[in-house]
């Protein structure tokens, strides 16, 4: 392996990192908000929105993200009505199209995670809150949601990693994220191995940083499980680093 070329490639990939990070952060944040709304609609069975959300989740989880992204970026241009509307300012930009596709996609997966978490909140703890005179939004904000959040965190952490990987599809609608730059270098140099190693390292570093953050959040949110085995936790963290 040519280490000088590896180093150069690494430097060339750096400008892609902010794009990747921004796409991932924004899509996860916006997607999570949407997902929460969808989850509440599902759990509360708010008709007819309930049915719409079920259909939405089914379609977005049943088709490839690439299809969704291409429909938004290439497909919508087919309609003059859209090309002439104010939305076109955004919909002709690959960045907003990629972001929109990522948000809609993660919202579908995220809503299922949050729905499961909300459904798993023990009935007794809700009744206890009702017995204290809580109800409606107060009960949701103070009791149901915090409990569900702790329940959802491990699965949602998984979704974070998947979304970082998913941002790479933005390169196929011409964005210069890490994968986009990597693909260009490969096409120019025909040296896929070094480029793969350099780009792969960046993605692994991002994923690993995210895992640490999620774990930190889990520790913070679960003080009751924090104290007993700090040593084991360090060991577990070390195990993750080894590759």
Partner 1 sequence: MLDTLTMFGFGPEGWGPAMLRAAANTVAVAAAGFALGGGLGILVAWAKIAGNAPLRWLAAAYTTILRGIPDLLVIYLFYFGSGLLLTPIANMFGVEGFVSFPGFVAGMGAIGVVSGAYHAEVIRGAFYSVKAGELEAATAMGMPRLLKFRRITLPLVARHALPGLGNVWQMVLKESALISVTGLVEIMRQAQIGSSFTRQPFTFYFAAGVLFLTITILSGLIFNRLEHRYSRGRA
Q: Which of 18, 52, 74, 235 binds partner 1 (CB under 8 A)?
A: 74
Window 151-190: contact mask with partner 1 (x via CB under 8 A): ----------x---xxxxx-xx------x--xx--x---x
Question: How far is it, in rounded angstroms, from Cα 154 to Cα 137?
Answer: 25
Beta strands in the chain (DSSP E): none
Rank residues 39 and 199 by Cβ distance to partner 1 and give the closer one. 199
| Contact code string over 118-157 relative to partner 1, x by CB under 8 A | ----------------------------------------
76 part of the interface to partner 1, by CB under 8 A: yes
To 5 degrees, how large is the angle CA 70–CA 165–CA 95? 45
Under the binding rule (CB under 8 A), the answer on residue 27 touching partner 1 is: no
Of 59-67, 94-102, 139-147, 213-221, the window that binds partner 1 (rule: CB under 8 A) is 59-67
Binding mask 6-25 for partner 1 (x = CB under 8 A): --------------------
Q: How far apart are CA 50 and CA 41, in angstroms?
A: 6
CA distances (Å), origin 159, targets 162, 171, 197, 200: 5, 20, 24, 19
Query: Which one of residues 1, 48, 78, 131 is an interface residue with partner 1 (CB under 8 A)?
Result: 78
- Give dist(CA 37, CA 50) in Å, integer: 11
CB of 52 to partner 1, least distance (A): 17
Work out whether 80 is an interface residue with partner 1 (CB under 8 A): no
Radius of gyration (C-alpha) of the chain in whole angstroms: 21
Stretch binding partner 1 (CB under 8 A), from 72-80, 90-98, 136-144, 212-220: 72-80
- C-alpha 31/C-alpha 83 separation (Å) is 25
Is the CB of 3 or the CB of 190 nearer to partner 1?
Answer: 190
- Quote the CA–CA distance of 176 and 197 in Å, as a whole number: 18
Number of residues that bind partner 1 (CB under 8 A): 44
102 and 95 Cβ atoms separated by less than 8 Å: no
**Shortest gap between Cβ of 179 and partner 1 (angstroms)?**
6
Q: Residue 159 in contact with residue 106, Cβ under 8 Å?
A: yes
Angstrom distances, CA of residue 19 to CA of 41, 71, 112, 170, 194: 33, 22, 27, 10, 21
Judged by DSSP in three states, 147 sits in: helix
User: Is 28 or 195 the residue whose CB approaches partner 1 more closely?
Assistant: 195
Site residues, partner 1 (CB under 8 A): 59, 62-68, 70-71, 74-79, 161, 165-169, 171-172, 179, 182-183, 186, 190-193, 195-196, 199-200, 203-204, 207-208, 239-240, 242-243
């Amino acid at each position: 392996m040519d280490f000088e070329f590896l180093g150069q490639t690494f430097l060339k990939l750096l400008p892609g990192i902010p794009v990747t990070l921004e796409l991932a952060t924004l899509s996860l944040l916006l997607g999570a908000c949407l997902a929460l709304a969808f989850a509440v609609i599902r759990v509360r069975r708010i008709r007819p929105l309930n049915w719409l959300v079920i259909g939405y989740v089914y379609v977005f989880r049943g088709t490839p993200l690439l299809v969704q992204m291409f429909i938004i970026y290439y497909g919508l241009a087919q309609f003059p009505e859209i090309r002439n509307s104010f939305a076109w300012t955004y919909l002709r930009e690959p960045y907003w199209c990629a972001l929109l596709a990522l948000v809609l996609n993660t919202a579908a997966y995220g809503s299922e995670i949050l729905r499961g978490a909300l459904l798993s909140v023990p009935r007794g703890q809700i009744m206890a809150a009702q017995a204290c005179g809580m109800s409606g939004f107060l009960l949701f904000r103070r009791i149901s949601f915090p409990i569900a959040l702790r329940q959802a965190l491990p699965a949602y952490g998984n979704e974070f990693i998947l979304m970082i990987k998913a941002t790479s599809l933005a390169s196929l609608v011409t964005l210069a994220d890490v994968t986009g730059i990597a693909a260009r270098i490969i096409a120019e140099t025909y040296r896929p191995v070094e480029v793969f190693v350099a780009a792969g390292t960046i993605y692994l570093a991002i994923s690993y940083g995210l895992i640490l953050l999620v774990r930190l959040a889990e520790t913070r949110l679960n003080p009751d499980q924090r104290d007993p085995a700090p040593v084991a936790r360090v060991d577990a963290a070390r195990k993750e680093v080894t590759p």
